[in-house]
Amino acid sequence: MKVISSDIIDGDSILFMTVPDGEMAGKKLLAGRFICKDATCLCTVVKIKLADMNNLDQDIATFDLDVASCKLSAKDPQYSDPSFVSSLGVPLATSLVESFDAEDWAFLKEDFYSYKLAVTKKIDFDSTSAYFPTASAIENYGEMVGYSDILPFCEQFILPRTDDSVDAILLDDQYCVISGCDCTRAIIFMYSCKNGREISGIKQGIEINLNTFRITQILEDTGGRETAVKLWHQFLEAFPQIRKELPRRKKDLTKLYANFKKNPRSVKFVPASKSTSGATLENVGRNDSCPCGSGKKFKKCCLGKPSFVL
């Protein structure tokens, strides 16, 4: 059943949840939702506070939802009164969440990602500090930094596809962030995706000049039906704002990195060590398979862990 509904009251969007079963079955509860305001935070948790419409000052229950995994988070729900349990003996929060249908989760996801995108767009890059887990690689080897790696809920550039095997091409833009460096390079990877997941074996990567937007080097061009050059020109045509957006992103990331280096959280820069598999990490690209054997990309696995950044 559809549990979540919304309404506009006095210009504000109000969220409700309808109890699906038990003694409170059919009762509509006011649901306040609270989302982390840190644009660099990777969490996908929404805090829900339920209140009776007849007594808004008293929260009935508070619980966390993970919109990425579509389930209650590991943190136990909190209740103001132990009587808020269904006749089946299932806590109210659990009963509600187990009754969510696809439309309920779609609503929560859209609400969450829209909010995080709005927060990202309002960042003051001159004063905000973000954490750069690959600082050692940046300083020692000129490691490029992905914009979405630091700001995970930024605006995405996606080319839709109707192919049976590919439904989207996702652009991953990476930049040099070392203060004082006047290079105009950017690395662009274009990933073929199906149902929101990257397709293994298909990889297009290029290096471009941010002044001319011309390709200066082909880094990867394997497995896809469309060449890296063709895809890049399609992105430029579909998103003309890219010509202004990418130089701005490099500038913004450079500011965040400069702020990070002033922050006490900054890491000590050390040379790369070796992983348990014996592969030298300094020779592993951020988009290559992690040498630890996890099957994940290096940037999503061991890059930034204590064996590499101390």
Residue range 211-238, pLDDT digits in tens: 999 999 999 888 777 889 999 999 999 9
Q: Flag whether pLDDT at 33 surpasses 50.
A: yes
Q: Flag whether pLDDT at 271 surpasses 50.
A: no
Dist CA 283 CA 175 (whole Å): 18
Quick one: tokens of 201? 């074996």
By the 8 A CB rule, do 112 and 46 touch? yes
Q: Flag whether pLDDT at 124 surpasses 50.
A: yes
DSSP 8-state secondary structure symbol assigned to residue 95:
H
Q: What is the CA radius of gyration of the chain?
A: 23
- pLDDT reported for residue 93: 85
Dist CA 64 CA 61 (whole Å): 10
Task: Name 37's Cβ contacts closer than 8 Å, sequence gap at least 6.
Answer: 119
Dist CA 210 CA 62 (whole Å): 48
Instruction: Residue 29: count other Cβ atoms within 10 Å of its Cβ.
Output: 21
Q: Flag whether pLDDT at 278 surpasses 90.
A: no
Q: Flag whether pLDDT at 173 surpasses 50.
A: yes
Element (DSSP H or E) covering residue 117: helix 102-121
Torsion angle of alpha carbons 277, 278, 284, 290, nearest 10°?
10
- pLDDT reported for residue 306: 36
Label residue 281 by pLDDT band (50, 70, 90). Answer: very low
Task: Name 57's Cβ contacts closer than 8 Å, sequence gap at least 6.
Answer: 51
Task: Name 48's Cβ contacts closer than 8 Å, sequence gap at least 6.
Answer: 17, 31, 32, 33, 34, 61, 62, 63, 64, 65, 93
Q: Flag whether pLDDT at 307 surpasses 50.
A: no
Dist CA 132 CA 138 (whole Å): 9
Of 245 and 226, the one with more pLDDT? 245
Label residue 111 by pLDDT band (50, 70, 90). Answer: very high
Mean pLDDT in residue range 38-42: 90
Of 287 and 77, the one with more pLDDT? 77
Label residue 309 by pLDDT band (50, 70, 90). Answer: very low
Q: Flag whether pLDDT at 295 surpasses 70.
A: no
Mean pLDDT over each residue of the chain, to the nearest integer: 81
Of 200 and 117, the one with more pLDDT? 117
Label residue 266 by pLDDT band (50, 70, 90). Answer: very low
Mean pLDDT in residue range 39-68: 86
Highest-confidence segment of 2-11, 19-28, 289-298: 19-28
Label residue 280 by pLDDT band (50, 70, 90). Answer: very low
